[in-house]
Structure 1
Amino acid sequence: MSGYPHGVAQATRTDPMRMLEEIKRQALEALGGLPGTLYVPIEDALKLASLKTDGKNNFYEEQAALWMLRQQQASHVMRYRQQVAQGFDDFRALRIRSGGEVQLRLVDEQQLEYELASGRLNEALVARFARPLDTLQSRLQTLSEAMRVPVGVNPIGPDRLVTAFAQTFLEAQVPDTLRARLFRHYETELVRVLGELYARVNTLLATSGYGSAAPAPASPRAEAPRRDGYAPPPGFGGAGDGFGGLGVAAPFTHASGAGNFGRTLSTPMSNQDIAAMAGELAELRSQLHAWRESLPKDEAGPALGTATARNAGPRREMRVDEILSVASLLQAEPPDAFARALAVSGRLGETIRDHLQDGARRLGLNPEQACFSSEEEDAIDLVALLFDSLFQHNALQDRARRLYARLVLPYVKVALTDNGVFVKREHPARRLLDAITEACEGNDAETAQDRELLDRATEISQRIVAEYNEDLAVFELAHAELDALLAQQRRRIELQEQRAAKATYGRERLGAAREQAESALSERLAEPELTQAVADFLAMPWRHHVVQTLLRDGADPRRHAEAIALGDALLMADRMAGQNRGRELADQLLALQPAIVECLASSGLDDSAAQHGMAGLVRALATPDTPRSRRPSPPLTMPEDDVSESERKLWLAGGTDTMTHDQILAERMRTLEVGDWVRLTDVQGESVAAKIAWVSPLTSRFLLVNRRGIRMLVISPEELASLASAGRLTIGAERTAFDEAMRQVRRHLDRAPVAR
């Protein structure tokens, strides 16, 4: 049975052994010297790290180990080349692939560390080069069938190349920190080399008869011939038509490199989901078009080269690959203009257009003869509105503005090639922007953890600028890295919310206990005329004792009843003293002595001071003609909860006395649950998202915290209803920053006046 599908004759193919040798030659030529290229950049990195730490960290061990590795550079390069070549021997079954039963043995710690580092690097490379690897694996399978050998491991796949690298340095004495640097720089070199190598090998196999040479299908518009003969510069290949030609399924694919539309997501979507999201995108674009038409002509900026359009002839619409080429040219330039535009709402879209126009001139495109298409306008406007919304509705510090400014052009490129970013919540670019906003929002870099988050987010934004070229795997890897660090912050936020809830609950319990104690005291001072000593005892130690009993033993009604009974017993003792019932009074005081001493001790008095206080009370009651009178209840001496008062000054102008509320709306507020998000506007007009972190079991009030878990406000359903009636509360804010930003974008577009 022939191993060639669809009746392709063997004579039409290059000899498979010669083909494998040619691939091996090209692989060794591209990869063979990689270990020797790592030492200089690592040495430079160590010098730079030493300078940054002002000598506080000792890099001597790493530098010494690196020096030893450099002495063995030739042998390491030779061993690496042997390892790569061995992969080709294994592929054509020159070595036994299965040795039968494998003996179990202990793995030493160094080998285990290499295996862990290799696993992480392999996963990153597989994700980055998924599409060319899939194509290459299919063509290598055809090559194996032609050689009539079982399908082997891809000899230039990430797994094989990472294993070759680990085996090269396995016997060397390398510190953990230097090992991490080696793997990191090796990854950088592989990323630089593999894309071109895989493309060459795939083309070689296809043209030699081992797989289809047909390119990935493109939309009709992307493949249409150009009348002006324009060809993008090298490295700026087209990536599909984005908004105009991707169709219904387009928003749900990853763009995976220049000239390719990308691979579908690993989780298939139902037809209903696809239709719903396509409908959502169509509605969003309809809103956008209506909004753009409502703008004054001098603000809409609809075309490239508008200033000279009146005297120019008909202009053609620029292709997406041309815009991508321009954006890629500008992507690495300083983002100062975008940072300034983010400081002024509504200026970002204009700035993006100006920059793209300037970049078009640099690439030799005449702005007087070209304009943006409607789809490109949509992409630019949506990205501008998205970033504006993020800055208007999140507590982002000034430092974050430059970070976001770097991301503007990469996200314009994403929007041009994959409009699903605006409607699909699992889109990798969308998830990364959520993670970056989570790291930056409200982050004033006060703690070491906050500074680390900001530094990592800044580093990742720089990496996106440096590496993104229509391959969404860059966003996936960056999100995974930042999300791992954010997991620690989320735990801190959760603990912060719990502490805020416990502190609020403690204050509420204290307030409730003080109110009960105050009520009990007022009730007992209202009726009889009392001696000064008994009245003072009830007003101070006894009232405090009742409060402490309620707080410490709130679940034990017996203890509270005993504390109340002590106050009633002292009233009876005072009455006995006034009636000169000496014997009964003595018996009463003897019976009350343990309770009185315990009451005094709860106020912080030691046993000696408590006994002294007991003696003073006895002396006062021992004299029948001691003056007695009615005494008002003194004010509470414990400090009030001034936190709530300062909160209300920020959010509830005029206090609660002047607030009115709708009863039906208040009932609606009572249905809010822990975890729900709302959006609040303070008295200065600043809007911020708030989460319901806790509902008081005592007062039914809500504890609202910001996205960093910091307490913002403790508020009743009635006060929430009043804020909602005043237009300063919105229920149902989204959980993620991107979702909330798109929600605000839609609200902004909905408010656009109808064009006449």
Structure 2
Amino acid sequence: MPSSQHPGPPAGPRAASVAPAQLLEQLEQGMAGRLQPVLAETLRAACQELEARRRAEPALDQLADDLTSLSILSRYIGVSERRWRKWFARGFNGWPQPPRPMADDAYALVSDDELQSQLVGQPVIEALERRFSDPLDVIDKRLWSLAAQLGGQVRPRNPVAPRHVVEAFLHAFPANEVDARVRLGLLRHFERIAAACLTDAYAWCNVLLSEAGHSMVGTGDYALLMAGQPVSGTTGGKADLWAEHNALAPAAGSTWREQPGQKRAPPRRTPSDAVRGNALRERMRGLRPQPPAERRAMRLEEFLAVLSLLQGEPDATALAPGRCAQGVRTRLAEVAARLGIDPETAAPAPEQDDAVELVGRLFDDLAARHALAGGAVGRLSRLVLPYLRLALSDPYLFEAPQAPALEVLDRLVGLWDANPRISTVEIEQHELADGVADDIAEHYHGDEQVFARALEQLERALEPLRRRAAVAERRAGQAIEGRERLQAARAEADRRLAERLRAPMLDRVGEFLREQWRQALVQAWLRGGVQSQRFADLLALGDALVRIDADAAHARGHAVADALLALEAPLRACYVACGLDEGGAQALLAQLVAELANPDAPRAAQRFEPLLEGGLDPADRDPEEAVPAAVGQVVVRTLDDGAAQALRLAWRSPLSGDLLLVNGQGGRELLLGAREFVRMLEDGRLRLRAAEGPVEDALRRLEAAPG
């Protein structure tokens, strides 16, 4: 974009009156005054921590030793502050020229103390550099302009960078005077306290340089500034980072040619390939408020610097529900003003404002459509700024397959949603989500591995819970299915028995059918179902016995004798299968044969007690009845106290169509018939969550939002 469309912020009233050397001195004094109190605060925080630990663990001798060391350091805090001030000032001595050891002796040996300082301080330096990468980028580019005015011949180092701040702290508490364990503890507290202090300090530094007329310049611009040449597209000493002169012309005269057989590299994906994300951003452009046309568009590095500083503020995400995007715009304007970017003359670029609107509406939808407790709402709000930054840096964030960052957001909302924190598992899941959300809000400053690590942490913590819940679900489902199968088998046996007891018959025949034969039918159904050969053979046995009884009633002795001979083995097997030994089975079989041999034996209508409690017919259940839910889907119910509880549709009976709803531990909560389940959905006692997950569900609604 031409630089004329992106003029730098106007110079403040001091732009012409402050000499470069005087400005550098103001920068040193101001930063030192803001950062030096961190030493005393760090000592106080370390002492408070050790005092609390000693009260909890009074037997630990090392705590007393460490407290003694800290007490001595506190007594001589003035000495440490003078050391810190002296080392911090070294970064400004001779600036913008490199320090003498760096310029004259690149191969100087490093002492053991310096080496230890580098080793213990490097993780803190890297953490602070990641956190403040965007504000530091802006400060660096403003310092290049100042360095050129001071006669710098090489690109200058940043004298207020985290590395210099941490090294000054380590020199204030040298390794030969401070125990290594105490020093590490101090460094841990220093990282936390300095992070909060640097947020304001870097904002002040940016404003100071901006008001002095130092805008951001690129690497190519710095070479021109050193040569004393004006940079095209600048006004009042301000250069546009993305001016045309910073771009490389295409190499039209290249001699490269594709060789025969050489495989082409796969085409690189470009932002234009992000079809869904671009469509969402375009839709948001039609929904969001449009800034006045006369305002310039903020550069990306300006916007990211403002975003980083806002992310570091404790109340950064106190956003009104349902108006997240507007809240972000308001806070961004406030922080931009502190950086010297006048909101009256500069506004986020269209693509930046599209991302604000898209992320804001996404988080509004997630908060509105899920049952989140107050703490969860606050933590979800803290994630708005990290995800806004990610939406700006990753054009494929909303494309399929789902990005790790959106997977993390899905899991977090799922863990918070309708979690009443009653059971131990519910409390663990809520605290897990809280911790992961805090880590992302605290540590994401452009490194997308933060989301990969968060996803891994969630998976590692949730996998054992899922395994235990799956076992409990399976057992609950198996218990219900076993009971239903037994009921179905008994109902089928009762029905078959009733069909064969319609005509009067011998009591002995009726007794056999009611007892041994019906029990054998139940066993055969449970083992193989009504289609099994065993079940068919038993039905044939019952029918044959009823025919024998009818033949005996009509004195057809020859037919009765032949049929009994044929049925002797099946009858004996049926008796034995029901628990009788061979002797008992033979005795009952003999009694049955004796009665059938007497045509004058009395016959009567037979009655029986159904095995299935409540009658012959099972409950009114239809396994084929449709329900608007799938196994695995989350269902939220309202408890008696008004709280919401997330349940899971774990199983549906193939026999009755009943639906089993379980809690987070896999324990049974509700067993509902299909019709009752639908009624509870209709009257609001149950609410379905989208099967595709919270984030995808919200994005689909945004895609369908009226323009």
**What is the TM-score with the length of structure 1 in the denominator?**
0.49
Contact 2:297 2:348 in 1 (8 A): yes
- Give the Cα separation in 2 of the matches to 1:184 and 1:536: 86
- Give the Cα separation in 1 of the matches to 2:614 and 2:576: 22
Matched, 1:746 2:696: no
* Offset, 1:566: 5.7
SS in 2 for 1:742: helix
Contact 2:690 2:697 in 1 (8 A): no
Note the aligned Cα RMSD (angstroms).
Answer: 7.0
CA offset digits 1:21-72 (Å, max 9, x no partner): xxxxxxxx9x99999899535436648xx8xxxxxxxx43775553355567
Q: Which amino acid aligns with 1:283?
A: A
Q: Which amino acid aligns with 1:423?
A: E
Q: Which residue of 1 aligns with 2:496?
A: 520
Contact 1:327 1:356 in 2 (8 A): no
Q: Which residue of 2 aligns with 1:530?
A: 505
CA offset digits 1:483-523 (Å, max 9, x no partner): 32122233345445645664575467456645653553354
SS in 2 for 1:388: helix
Q: Which residue of 1 aligns with 2:321?
A: 341
Structure 1 segment 417-566 matched on structure 2, within 5 A: 417-423=393-399, 427=403, 429-495=405-471, 498-499=474-475, 502=478, 506=482, 509-510=485-486, 513-514=489-490, 516-518=492-494, 520-526=496-502, 528-531=503-506, 535=510, 538=513, 542-552=517-527, 557=532, 559-560=534-535, 563-564=538-539
For 2:277, which of 276, 281, 288 is the aligned residue? 281
Contact 1:129 1:195 in 2 (8 A): no
Matched, 1:66 2:63: yes
> For the structure 1 residues 40 and 195, does the alpha-carbon distance in structure 2 shift closer, same or farther, using more than 3 Å as the test?
closer
Q: Which residue of 1 aligns with 2:7?
A: none
Q: Which residue of 1 aligns with 2:96?
A: none
- Give the Cα separation in 2 of the matches to 1:184 and 1:554: 70
SS in 2 for 1:444: coil
* Offset, 1:616: 11
Q: Which residue of 1 aligns with 2:80?
A: none
CA offset digits 1:671-711 (Å, max 9, x no partner): xxx99x989999xxxxx999998898x78989898996799
Q: Which amino acid aligns with 2:284?
A: L
For 1:315, which of 295, 306, 309 is the aligned residue? 295
> For the structure 1 residues 644 and 519, does the alpha-carbon distance in structure 2 shift closer, same or farther, using more than 3 Å as the test?
closer
> For the structure 1 residues 350 and 276, does the alpha-carbon distance in structure 2 shift closer, same or farther, using more than 3 Å as the test?
closer
- Give the Cα separation in 1 of the matches to 2:492 and 2:578: 17
Q: Which residue of 2 aligns with 1:148?
A: none
SS in 2 for 1:271: coil
Q: Which amino acid aligns with 1:60?
A: E
Contact 2:552 2:596 in 1 (8 A): yes
SS in 2 for 1:628: coil
- Give the Cα separation in 2 of the matches to 1:494 and 1:230: 63
Q: Which amino acid aligns with 1:747?
A: A
> For the structure 1 residues 570 and 277, does the alpha-carbon distance in structure 2 shift closer, same or farther, using more than 3 Å as the test?
same
Q: Which residue of 1 aligns with 2:641?
A: none
Structure 1 segment 649-728 matched on structure 2, within 5 A: none
Q: Which residue of 1 aligns with 2:352?
A: 376
* Offset, 1:454: 0.5
- Give the Cα separation in 2 of the matches to 1:519 and 1:360: 81
Q: Which residue of 2 aligns with 1:79?
A: none
Contact 1:514 1:547 in 2 (8 A): yes
- Give the Cα separation in 1 of the matches to 2:185 and 2:403: 26
- Give the Cα separation in 1 of the matches to 2:278 and 2:435: 35
* Offset, 1:276: 6.7
In structure 1, runs of 5+ residues without a counterpart are: 1-28, 51-58, 77-89, 96-117, 134-155, 158-163, 173-180, 198-213, 232-237, 247-268, 293-299, 304-308, 653-673, 683-687, 724-728
SS in 2 for 1:405: helix
Structure 1 segment 79-478 matched on structure 2, within 5 A: 270-271=266-267, 273-274=269-270, 277-290=273-286, 292=287, 300-303=288-291, 314-320=294-300, 321-322=302-303, 325=306, 328-329=309-310, 332-333=313-314, 338=319, 341-342=321-322, 347-356=323-332, 368-391=344-367, 400-423=376-399, 427=403, 429-478=405-454
- Give the Cα separation in 1 of the matches to 2:404 and 2:185: 23
SS in 1 for 2:321: helix
Structure 1 segment 594-633 matched on structure 2, within 5 A: 595-596=574-575, 598-599=577-578, 625-629=601-605
Q: Identical aligned pairs, as a percentage?
A: 26
Q: Which residue of 2 aligns with 1:211?
A: none
In structure 2, runs of 5+ residues without a counterpart are: 1-35, 74-106, 113-118, 134-165, 168-173, 199-216, 222-230, 248-264, 638-644, 682-686
- Give the Cα separation in 1 of the matches to 2:473 and 2:324: 36
* Offset, 1:742: 2.4
Contact 1:441 1:707 in 2 (8 A): no
> For the structure 1 residues 474 and 216, does the alpha-carbon distance in structure 2 shift closer, same or farther, using more than 3 Å as the test?
farther
Q: Which amino acid aligns with 1:744?
A: R
Q: Which amino acid aligns with 1:325?
A: V
* Offset, 1:383: 0.8
- Give the Cα separation in 2 of the matches to 1:616 and 1:398: 78
SS in 1 for 2:274: helix
* Offset, 1:430: 2.8
> For the structure 1 residues 392 and 329, does the alpha-carbon distance in structure 2 shift closer, same or farther, using more than 3 Å as the test?
closer
SS in 1 for 2:280: helix
Q: Which residue of 1 aligns with 2:31?
A: none
> For the structure 1 residues 195 and 680, does the alpha-carbon distance in structure 2 shift closer, same or farther, using more than 3 Å as the test?
closer
Contact 1:435 1:486 in 2 (8 A): no
Q: Which amino acid aligns with 1:349?
A: A
- Give the Cα separation in 1 of the matches to 2:543 and 2:122: 78
Contact 1:277 1:424 in 2 (8 A): no
- Give the Cα separation in 2 of the matches to 1:524 and 1:500: 37
- Give the Cα separation in 2 of the matches to 1:564 and 1:183: 83
SS in 1 for 2:355: helix
Q: Which amino acid aligns with 1:745?
A: L
Contact 1:428 1:476 in 2 (8 A): yes
* Offset, 1:592: 4.5
* Offset, 1:381: 1.4
* Offset, 1:130: 8.4
SS in 2 for 1:443: coil
> For the structure 1 residues 330 and 281, does the alpha-carbon distance in structure 2 shift closer, same or farther, using more than 3 Å as the test?
closer
> For the structure 1 residues 561 and 130, does the alpha-carbon distance in structure 2 shift closer, same or farther, using more than 3 Å as the test?
same
Q: Which amino acid aligns with 1:551?
A: L
- Give the Cα separation in 1 of the matches to 2:661 and 2:448: 34
- Give the Cα separation in 1 of the matches to 2:603 and 2:409: 76
Q: Which amino acid aligns with 1:410?
A: P
SS in 2 for 1:421: coil
* Offset, 1:379: 1.3
- Give the Cα separation in 2 of the matches to 1:226 and 1:641: 86
CA offset digits 1:435-474 (Å, max 9, x no partner): 3124224533343122112012113323434444445454
Q: Which amino acid aligns with 2:274?
A: A
* Offset, 1:374: 1.9
* Offset, 1:407: 1.9
Q: Which residue of 1 aligns with 2:33?
A: none
- Give the Cα separation in 2 of the matches to 1:217 and 1:610: 105
> For the structure 1 residues 333 and 614, does the alpha-carbon distance in structure 2 shift closer, same or farther, using more than 3 Å as the test?
farther
SS in 2 for 1:341: coil
- Give the Cα separation in 2 of the matches to 1:34 and 1:395: 40
